[in-house]
Every structure is written in C-alpha cells, then in structure tokens.
Structure 1
C-alpha cells in the first residue's frame, strides 16, 4: 500500500482578498512565509518523497516546511479557473451574467468559462497517481486536493464535501491502482523547536 500526503500551499495576497487564483502564479505573502518557516513535516513524512505543483506558492511552501527543494509535477498544477481567475468570488456571485457556482454544485463535468472541469483535472492526475511507488508528500492546491479526495471518498461535487481542506495539515490517501481511501484524521505540521 502506498500513502500520499496532501498539503495545501500557504496563503497569498489573492487568498486573503478572496480572489480566484487557479493557474495564476501568485507567491506566498510575507505572513505565510513567516508562519511556514516555523513549521515542519512530522515523521515519517519528513523523509518521504517530496513533490509539488510547479506554481511558486506550492514550491515555496514545500521548501519552507521540509528544508528541501521538491520535485515539480505538472499534473499537480491548480485547476484552471479560466475567465474567473483574478476575480473575487463575491463579485462573480453578484454578477447576473455569470454562471458562477460553488464547486460543491459542479458535478464532475461543469467548468468555468475557459477553464477546466474536475473530470479533466482527474484525467490529468490519474496517470501520476497510478504511477506512485513510494510514500509521497504532495504540496499542491485546494482544487487538486478536492479532486484527489473526491476519488478517495466517492464524492461527486454534488453537495457538501465529506472533508474540509485546512492549511498546515497533511491529508493522507492510502491505496494504489485506482483504489484510494482517505484517512479519517489529518496530521498537523509540527512546530519547529
């Protein structure tokens, strides 16, 4: 059995402003850098293979909590939110000409204009996921994490998710070859002495 630990990147200015980031390459903000520099991956995850999305906010999070440079994995790039990137979710909801939906009501095949559906993200993640051969920490994004955790829980983007993605926690998937489960309790990052 392989274990995959998922870690969401730290905050950016766009996160704090409620902006949709998607594939926009927004860096961590100084507050996130300071907070992450005080945290570390707990054992045994501190010795696992370390990978990240190629976007700088994920790469930097990985480096700060591990002291190592991660291997970049293109499949872990955040979901493409298309025309919604850079806009605030509250403004999208208020725009009557916009078909903005919260991801909990997308289903697998809805996509933002010019963007990517959860099914398309699943299709690009599946070959990488099926190729895992050792325990791995993947520092990535909430959209990618939702897709991977949906695969492990049977959630179909059709109502409240059976999980909550929080920062500074490892969400552990266990399995292999298309059969994954989500461990019930996330593992907190450790505070450095």
Structure 2
C-alpha cells in the first residue's frame, strides 16, 4: 500500500475538510471496460470489498454525499451504514463519450496507448463527444464552492476521474506527466477547501482496510 502522505500549511484553520472515496468495483471494472456515466452497479466482489472496509475515526461527524450513480450510492450506504444525505450530478464520472463501454484493448486499437494519449492532451484530453478533466474541474469547483459555504466536513463517494480532477487542482498538476503521488483505491484522500472552494492537499492514502 502507498505510504500515507500528509501535507500541512500555515493558515488552514477554518477551511472546510473533504474526504474523497472512490466506489468499489463493478463488473465493468473487473472486465476492463471504459466506464463513466453508464449506471453500472457494484459487482458481488465490489460489495464484499466495501463490507470489509472501515470508516476512519477522523471522519466521525462528517456529512456523507455521493455521485448519483448506483455504484457510488451503494458504496456510501454500505460503508457509512446509511444512505448519503445528498447525491449531486456534478460528482458523476468523467464522460468518456464514444469510448464508453470499450475494452482497454479496443481503445488501444483506436488511439494507441491510452496513458500516452492522456499525457499528450493533459487536462484537455477527452473522447469523442466526451468530457475533459478541465470540464470536470469546472463542475467540481461549483460543487466545492457550495460545500465550502456550509463549512461542514464532508465525505464524497465518487469516481476515479473525480479523485483525479480534485488532486490535479490541489497539486497544480497539468496531467502531462506521471502522477506526482500514488492514490490508492482502498483509501480515502483528504483535501481542504478554501472559502471559494479550491482544494489543497491535507492527507492522502488514509486506509479504509484497517479498523
């Protein structure tokens, strides 16, 4: 498991804390298919994974919100023990457009190595009729601004593309290089929101796998 990364800076007192958790696996994840806005539920293996997770004590008292896609709602409900208090469409996965549902080998046949194509395009890389990470960041900043206004610490159960876009904003990463940090799927990643909703890194890779 990646080492927990903590970063603290002066002047963060009073900034709103958020914790991002990626949903557990679906049949499409397990089959290596491109998955974004299609509402694919958790697989049996995914449900079993979430049932083995534990909410870190540092998230006590947090509100729970999620993407409206069932894989995120179910992950939030199983992990927290109750349905999320809010579901927001701005938290859905990045739309891959015409590439949705393709296998990785099919995508490679069309565009070559996906990672290389993504690094070439950076924040503006996107599929035909799809979204870029820059598009995702725009809708996320709108959502984060509303969360910052409430000053309520919040767990956000979402998708890999949402975690990536948030991290990119916080780390000022243009996505044209390899990830500066490794973010594990079986962890929560904490960020603090400024008054206008811009995230900064608080702590990465807090495990969900230990009580």
Q: Same fold (TM over 0.5)?
A: yes
* Alpha-carbon contact 2:183-2:205 (below 8 Å) kept: no
* Alpha-carbon contact 1:142-1:165 (below 8 Å) kept: no
Aligned residues: 190
Shift of 1:16: 1.1
Q: 1:32 is matched with which residue: 38, 46, 67?
A: 46
SS at match of 1:164: coil
Per the alignment, residue 19 of structure 1 pairs with 33
CA deviation string 1:38-97 (max 9, x = no partner): 2221113142010000000000000111001111011100000001110012221123xx
Per the alignment, residue 6 of structure 1 pairs with 20
Q: Does 1:148 align with 2:194?
A: no
Tell me the distance in 2 between the aligned counterparts of 1:151 and 1:38.
31
The root-mean-square deviation of aligned C-alpha atoms, in Å, is 1.7
Shift of 1:11: 0.6
Tell me the distance in 2 between the aligned counterparts of 1:25 and 1:127.
23
Shift of 1:159: 1.1
Q: Quick check: which one's helix share is greater?
A: 2
- Structure 2: any 5+ residue segments left out of the alignment? 1-14
SS at match of 1:131: helix
Tell me the distance in 2 between the aligned counterparts of 1:53 and 1:11.
15
Shift of 1:25: 0.6
CA pair 25-140 structure 1, distance change in 2 beyond 3 A: same
* Alpha-carbon contact 2:141-2:198 (below 8 Å) kept: no
Q: What does 1:133-172 correspond to in 2, within 5 Å?
A: 133-172=151-190
* Alpha-carbon contact 2:34-2:99 (below 8 Å) kept: yes
Shift of 1:190: 4.9
Per the alignment, residue 6 of structure 2 pairs with none
Tell me the distance in 1 between the aligned counterparts of 2:132 and 2:112.
14
Shift of 1:188: 1.0
Per the alignment, residue 101 of structure 1 pairs with 114
Tell me the distance in 2 between the aligned counterparts of 1:183 and 1:105.
29
Per the alignment, residue 74 of structure 1 pairs with 89
Shift of 1:184: 4.4
Q: Does 1:185 align with 2:199?
A: no
SS at match of 1:137: strand
Shift of 1:10: 0.1
* Alpha-carbon contact 1:42-1:190 (below 8 Å) kept: no
* Alpha-carbon contact 1:53-1:73 (below 8 Å) kept: yes
